[in-house]
Structure 1
């Protein structure tokens, strides 16, 4: 192996080597490195989005909802909640009533999805953590109080303490529409949920919401969160089939899962596209080695004439080509790891330098470029790049072993 390494390094670093071969060799190294760097960086960004989705958005929205199929709501909903709380995968349960209507302030109107909460359950949920203590206490003591997303407040030019009117559609027994019901509510707090959620979300007391919707049982449905939100689809069905009430089942992947699905789609596209970039770079390894073999035929013939066998020649040229892949892979992986670890700071510096913003908090649930380095992504990238680099050396190395020393030295 020492002899193989010495010969491979000499062939690679020979100053008399054709300049075009050197250029192709350097471009293959650069291509492999660039592919590894971009693949690690983009996978870290996808991991960052997925982590922020889990830590921010999925800590606010319910992971599963069970809504009664009947207009009067769920019978014995307290017993159902006690049953759900006993499940080991459930971390939080609460009853709710959904109210959809139009908020009106002066001549401005905005659609809103109001969720009626039972305070004895909501007190242990996420809402007290994202509003101030004063606002939460005011909400608890005011049955006509509402907490609205900041986007709604801005769109309607509202402030905490203002009165606002909500228009609620009313259905008759034959499901035809009649004149909407009007309620006057007081804004007692505001929340920042991120993205579009802040533009159409609000919270009110469940008793008032049930009254406006003619829900006699008190709760329209039950919503909950799991210890692992990305398993919500299977857990929702598993738990829902055990309920005594007849309910419609829904989970966050149906109502708010478009972003998660986009992340998974982009991750798959990134894997395929950048693996092809690395593969194209490895074709340059094939090209440079084929030209190197043609140029080094006399050296190969002399090595064979002094006793080198075909196996040695093959390993020498495989080592020479693999060196390009190793150098490119290591450089790209190191740069990818460094940029992934400090991407948030780097993106913030670029935003401040050029006065641009990569992500808008009005559209997305975050306003910065996230990154989370997963070492298994690094290992997989290095493995793919090294594997393709080694495969690219096989054909030129075998061609080198087929050089006929008598024919070459005879000329």
Structure 2
């Protein structure tokens, strides 16, 4: 292909063209760096989203309804069976939640304790609670499993006796002395982040009896096949429920994590596409100077019968080669780094003695990475589109060179 051969010949640098070559090289480096960073950061965002789904959403219910009445959910067994037949719902379970203060050795800490039927949801917490803790918890009706952060901050140990203080109100909305429930620490729950400082688990029957629930449970928790459709599904369930209930879903309680990930993803896309765009402007600059430098050669080609289309295609290919080299190098490096980013960061942490993510603050203590091929394809397509787009003006300028003026 003649245009390609001419583009390769025009890319060769003479000693007086070092400055043009430098601008061309900087554009290639900029495009490669932009592609590399974009793919790696998108992989990190994908990793955080994956960890959010596998960790937080494996423990936090995707949705729940709870009775407005103090007696709890009516016809509980029938409702559980009805929801178990819904194709949108993976599983349902009854629960009763107590919110109050955990008291031990003169210390108080806010806690949200969920009463659960152990036989139904043991698998849900299987990876977050040790097997021996489950066995101990199952055997004790007054057993309590608390988050790792609570165990650490209050200095609790297996077998310790604690009190859960539950606030009480009267009809005139004045407070009475809190109701106290005595429980025994049976195990530790490890989810990560804030939840380790808030959550507790106890037996459903004990929780319901302690606050006067007469219908076995205060509410129903839902695990959905598609957790990201929780908002619509829970409203559909709540509005059609035969009893007055409150409804909630994970986007209200933990949705800020997912929204933060999506916001950062959007910012990364915009910022790094702009970086690639700036690099492509260097292609414009280098090609404009190349056209000016090659005017005599262009004029000779035209006198030999070269068409404007051939000249235009030559300079488009010349700029596209610069962009393609940057894209190939950047994407190749990203494909090598992104899948191994977690190990690389761990090595840096151990070498420098620093901790990038603290498990006490975030829901994970490592930097996750999950490479999605659609991100790679989108990055390549956008970078190539910008690279080729940057060549159109210089190519058109080259095609307009007049032999009579250039060879004067």
TM over 0.5: yes
Shift of 1:237: 2.0
Alpha-carbon deviation of 1:128?
4.3
Inter-partner Cα distance in structure 2 for 1:384 and 1:209: 56
Please tell me whether the aligned partners of residues 36 and 385 of structure 1 are also in contact (alpha carbons under 8 angstroms): yes
For each residue in 1:2-31, what CA deviation from the matched residue of structure 2 results, as whole angstroms up to 9, or x when unmatched?
111111011111334511111110000001
Q: Which residue number corresponds to residue 139 of structure 1?
A: 137
Alignment deviations for residues 70-126 of structure 1 (CA, whole Å, 9 cap, x no partner) = 122111111111111111121121111110111111121111000011234334x41
Structure 1: distance between partners of 2:137 and 2:93 = 17
1:229 positional shift: 1.3
Q: In the alignment, does 2:116 pair up with 1:117?
A: yes
1:234 deviates by 1.8
In structure 2, the partner of 1:208 is 206
C-alpha separation between the residues in 2 aligned to 1:171 and 1:127?
A: 33
Question: Which residue of the partner structure matches residue 386 of structure 1?
Answer: 384
Contact 1:27–1:284 under 8 Å retained in 2: yes
Matches within 5 A, 1:362-377: 362-377=360-375
Deviates more, 1:34-43 or 1:162-171: 162-171
Q: Confirm whether residue 409 of structure 1 aligns to residue 407 of structure 2.
A: yes
Separation in 1, partners of 2:16, 2:275 = 27
Corresponding residue for residue 157 of structure 2: 159
Instruction: Report SS of the residue matched to 1:369.
Output: coil
Report if the CA contact (8 A) 2:13-2:21 is conserved.
Answer: no
Aligned counterparts of 1:182 and 1:60: Cα–Cα separation in 2: 27
Name the counterpart of 1:25: 24
Residue number among 370, 393, 396 corresponding to 2:394 in the alignment: 396
The Cα shift of 1:130 comes to: 3.1
> Which residue of 1 is the match for residue 99 of structure 2?
100
- 1:129 Cα shift? 4.6
Q: TM-score, normalised by structure 1?
A: 0.97
Structure 1 residue aligned with 2:49: 50
Distance in 2 (CA, whole Å) between partners of 1:384 and 1:17 is: 33
What CA deviation, in whole Å up to 9, does each residue of 1:325-348 have, x standing for no partner?
A: 000011111111111111011111
- 3-state SS of paired residue (2:45): helix
Does the 8 Å contact 2:312/2:396 carry over to 1? Answer: yes
In structure 1, the gaps of 5 or more residues are: none
CA distance in 1, matches of 2:172, 2:207: 22
Q: Is the 8 A contact 1:149 1:200 kept in 2?
A: yes
What CA distance in whole angstroms lies between the structure 1 residues aligned with 2:29 and 2:355? 30
- 1:354 is aligned to 352
The equivalent residue for 1:195 is 193
Q: SS state of the match for residue 376, structure 1?
A: helix
Summarize deviations over 1:301-343 as a string: whole Å, max 9, x none: 1111111110010001111111110000111111111111110
Partner Cα separation in structure 2 for residue 159 and residue 227 of structure 1: 37
Q: What CA distance in whole angstroms lies between the structure 1 residues aligned with 2:342 and 2:45? A: 13
For the Cα contact (< 8 Å) 1:75–1:217, is it kept in 2? yes
- Shifted more, 348-357 versus 234-243: the winner is 234-243
Q: Is 1:264 matched with 2:269?
A: no
Distance 1:403 1:127 in 2: 73
Q: State the SS of the aligned residue for 2:177.
A: strand
Please give the alpha-carbon distance, in whole angstroms, between the structure 2 residues aligned to 1:132 and 1:401.
73
Match for residue 39 of structure 1?
38
How much does 1:293 deviate? 0.5
For 2:250, the equivalent position in structure 1 comes to 252
Structure 2 length normalisation: TM-score? 0.97
Contact 1:149 1:201 in 2 (8 A): yes
Equivalent-residue separation in structure 2 for 1:68 and 1:17 (angstroms): 82
2:407 aligned counterpart, secondary structure: helix
1:276 to 274, 277, 283: 274
Give the CA deviation at 1:171: 1.4
Distance in structure 1 (CA, Å) of the matches to 2:128 and 2:344: 29
The alignment status of 1:301 with 2:329, answered yes or no, reads no
Verify the 8 A CA contact 1:301 1:409 in the aligned structure 2.
Answer: yes
The two structures, once aligned, show a CA RMSD in angstroms of: 1.3
**Which residue does 1:87 correspond to in 2?**
86
- 1:9 paired residue number: 8
Query: Aligned partners of 2:183 and 2:386: how far apart in 1?
Result: 65
Structure 1: how far apart are the matches of 2:237 and 2:332?
45
Structure 2 residue 83 is matched with structure 1 residue 64: no
Q: Compare 95-104 and 235-244 and name the one that shifted more.
A: 235-244
Kindly tell me: are residues 213 and 73 of structure 1, through their superposed partners in 2, closer, same or farther at Cα, counting changes over 3 Å? same
